């Protein structure tokens, strides 16, 4: 039932390959025709190399931005925005590729290639509805589905099936699993018959049924084992609606432990491939950052030791992924006995009882104020990122005393690896109250993507350089 949407997405990806190739060749011919001072020429091998990389980049960026998920139903403004972002990022990738291989591509050619690709993709995608219509006609054999159940859960499934009629899905009717009275028909967008579950064998013999969706309560599933076996013997695909806990917002997936199937509910990102990409990015950037910043960090450490007594690096136990403890590093920005002075300054705390924040904290050293303002004190945490204790982007790591006071819903922020920066850091930093801070972390976890990480990283840079929002 859902493979038709996947086929449409695959065909949209293939259309990108064709259109980007056309844009590449058109840009190449246009640049060769333009009467510019320097001639431009690529060998067959060079063209194949650059074009091959561009095709991979464009499709990869399209998948990353989830462009292909929205093409058949997206608003023109969204299609315009996504196409522009895809072509912009694609052009940047080609420029980086050119630089790495030390090639000399014409700048007018690169501009023309990006513009042509954007125009062609945009023109195609704005008419994608018609293309989807052709795709649906190509795979137009109706797909008949029956729903077991007559309750609200079954009605929700029925409405979704009706909305999928454009994909060739047809709701055959409902099956009543209860022994008592049941309506003879159910009226949704159309009127559908309701048959007793005992008639399923004859229905399968007399009618075309491609799938049966069991939309019943968990207590009824065991009683329907015979119907599952019947569908299994007949080769009819079965699905089970597993929204048994309507207030649980976790992502549901089916895993397997040995030979045992497990229904998995995950309230935090669990896509192992994307998380692996995130971790790989952390390692590369953290390692590069430590190498580049090492001389400066040595000078900063020396300046801290010379301007105030105490160690240059402040160490503290923080709570990481799922509550794991780790040793957290930062440049010391306060006097050596800052923790001992904390009780005497409690009356100056402007936050609630969980987080301790004082405007113009008197415990800060002269150098420490500068380090804090521009987040230079956070640089040693690149070592935490390299070790795997932290990530570049994620909820800020909390001390155990704060975690002990969390409300239950706030503890979910521990289900993501803590980070150097987060939504809180680009939305006011120390000016954001604790409740909003926690909600921002939940928003990050619920909407996490690689694109969101890069968006936060890029928006963090000007905030850090200007010291905006830092206390």
Q: What is the pLDDT of residues 187-239, one digit of tens each?
A: 888 899 999 988 899 998 888 888 899 988 877 888 888 888 888 888 888 88
Phi and psi, residue 185, nearest 5°? -155, 160
| pLDDT at residue 279 tops 70 | yes
Half-sphere exposure of 319 (CA within 13 A, CB side): 17
Distance CA 423, CA 443 (A): 9
* 94: nearest Cα among 106, 82, 80: 106
The token pair that represents 361 in the structure block: 């904290």
The pLDDT assigned to 359 comes to 67
The pLDDT mean for the chain works out to 83
pTM of the entire structure? 0.64
Pairing type for strands 185-187 and 419-421 reads unpaired
Question: 424-450 burial string, b = 16+ CB within 10 Å, else e?
Answer: bbbbbbbebeeeebbbbbbebbeebeb
Categorize the per-residue pLDDT at 293 as very low, low, confident or very high, splitting at 50, 70 and 90: very high
Q: What is the pLDDT of residue 329?
A: 94
What pLDDT is stored for residue 470 in this prediction? 58
What is the distance of C-alpha 206 from the center of its chain?
45
- Asked whether residue 417 carries a pLDDT value surpassing 60, the answer given is yes
Measure CA 402 to chain center. 28
Residues forming CATH 3.40.50.720 domain(s) in the chain? 141-247
pLDDT of residue 131: 56
Token pair for 261: 């199937």
CB 377 within 8 A of CB 404: no
Per-position b or e across 357-385, b if 16+ CB within 10 A of its CB: ebeebebbbebbeebbbebbbbbbbbbbb
Model pLDDT, residue 287: 94
φ and ψ at 38, to 5 degrees?
Answer: -105, 130
Spatial distance between the Cα atoms of 290 and 208, rounded to a whole number of angstroms: 64
Closest CA to 83 of 95, 92, 98, 71: 71
| Contacting residues for 325 by C-beta, under 8 A, at least 6 apart | 317, 318, 319, 400
pLDDT at 258: 73
Q: Is 335 left (phi over 0), alpha (psi -120 to 50) or beta?
A: beta
Q: What is the pLDDT confidence band of residue 74, given thresholds at 50, 70 and 90?
A: low
Whether the predicted pLDDT of 72 surpasses 80: no
pLDDT over 80 (residue 182): no
The helix or strand, by DSSP H or E, that contains position 260, with its residue range, turns out to be strand 260-266
- Does residue 349 contact residue 356 with C-beta atoms inside 8 Å? yes
Across 11-15, 76-80, 406-410, which has the greatest mean pLDDT?
Answer: 406-410
The CATH code that applies to domain 141-247 is 3.40.50.720
Q: Check if the beta carbon of residue 251 is closer than 8 Å to that of residue 363.
A: no
Least confident of 168-182, 184-198, 339-353: 339-353
User: Exposed, middle or buried by CB within 10 Å (0-12, 13-18, 19+), for 38?
Assistant: exposed
Are the C-beta atoms of 31 and 108 separated by less than 8 Å? yes
The arithmetic mean of pLDDT across residues 450-458, rounded, is 89
Find how far residue 84's CA is from the centre of its chain.
20
3 state SS of 375: coil
- The share of the chain scoring above pLDDT 90, in percent, equals 24
Does the pLDDT value for residue 296 go beyond 70? yes
Has residue 122 got a pLDDT over 90? no
What's the CA gap between 169 and 468, in Å, rounded? 53
Query: Which of 360, 299, 300, 374 lies closest to 332 in space, CA to CA?
Result: 300
Confidence class for position 103, pLDDT limits 50, 70, 90: confident
């Amino acid at each position: 039932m859902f493979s038709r949407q996947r086929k449409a997405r695959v065909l949209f990806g293939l259309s990108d390959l064709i259109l980007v190739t056309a844009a590449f060749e058109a840009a190449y011919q246009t640049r060769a025709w333009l009467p510019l001072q320097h001639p431009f020429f690529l060998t067959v091998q060079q063209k194949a190399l650059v074009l091959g990389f561009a095709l991979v980049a464009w499709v990869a960026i399209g998948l990353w931005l989830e462009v292909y998920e929205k093409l058949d139903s997206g608003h023109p403004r969204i299609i315009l925005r996504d196409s522009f972002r895809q072509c912009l990022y694609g052009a940047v990738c080609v420029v980086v590729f050119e630089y790495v291989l030390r090639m000399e591509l014409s700048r007018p050619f690169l501009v023309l290639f990006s513009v042509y690709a954007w125009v062609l993709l945009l023109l195609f995608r704005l008419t994608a509805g018609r293309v989807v219509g052709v795709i649906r006609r190509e795979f137009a054999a109706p797909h008949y589905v029956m729903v077991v159940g007559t309750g609200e859960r079954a009605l929700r499934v029925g409405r979704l099936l009706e909305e999928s009629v454009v994909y060739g899905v047809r709701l055959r009717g409902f099956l009543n699993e209860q022994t008592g009275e049941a309506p003879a028909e159910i009226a949704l967008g159309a009127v559908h018959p309701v048959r007793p579950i005992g008639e399923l064998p004859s229905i399968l013999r007399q009618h075309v049924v491609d799938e049966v969706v069991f939309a019943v309560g968990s207590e009824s599933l065991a009683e329907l084992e015979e119907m599952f076996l019947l569908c299994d013997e007949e080769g009819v695909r079965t699905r089970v609606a597993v929204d048994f806990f309507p207030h649980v917002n976790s992502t549901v997936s089916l895993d397997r432990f040995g030979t045992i199937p497990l229904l998995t509910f995950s309230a935090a990102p669990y896509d192992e491939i994307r998380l692996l990409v995130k971790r790989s990015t952390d390692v590369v950037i953290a390692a590069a950052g430590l190498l580049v910043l090492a001389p400066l960090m040595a000078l900063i450490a020396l300046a801290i030791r010379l301007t105030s007594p105490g160690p240059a690096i402040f160490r503290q136990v923080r709570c990481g992924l799922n509550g794991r403890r780790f040793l957290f590093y930062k440049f010391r920005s306060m006097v050596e006995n800052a923790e001992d002075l904390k009780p005497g300054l409690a009356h100056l705390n402007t936050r609630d009882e969980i987080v301790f924040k004082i405007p113009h904290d008197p415990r800060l050293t002269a150098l420490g104020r500068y380090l804090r303002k521009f987040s230079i004190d956070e640089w040693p945490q690149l070592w935490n990122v390299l070790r795997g204790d932290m990530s570049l982007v994620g909820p800020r790591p909390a001390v155990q005393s704060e975690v002990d006071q969390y409300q239950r819903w706030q503890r979910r922020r521990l289900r993501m690896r803590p980070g150097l920066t987060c939504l809180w850091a680009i939305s006011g930093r120390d000016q954001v109250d604790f409740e909003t801070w926690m909600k921002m972390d939940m928003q990050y976890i619920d909407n996490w993507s690689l694109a969101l990480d890069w968006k936060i990283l890029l928006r963090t840079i000007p905030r850090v350089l200007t010291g905006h929002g830092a206390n």
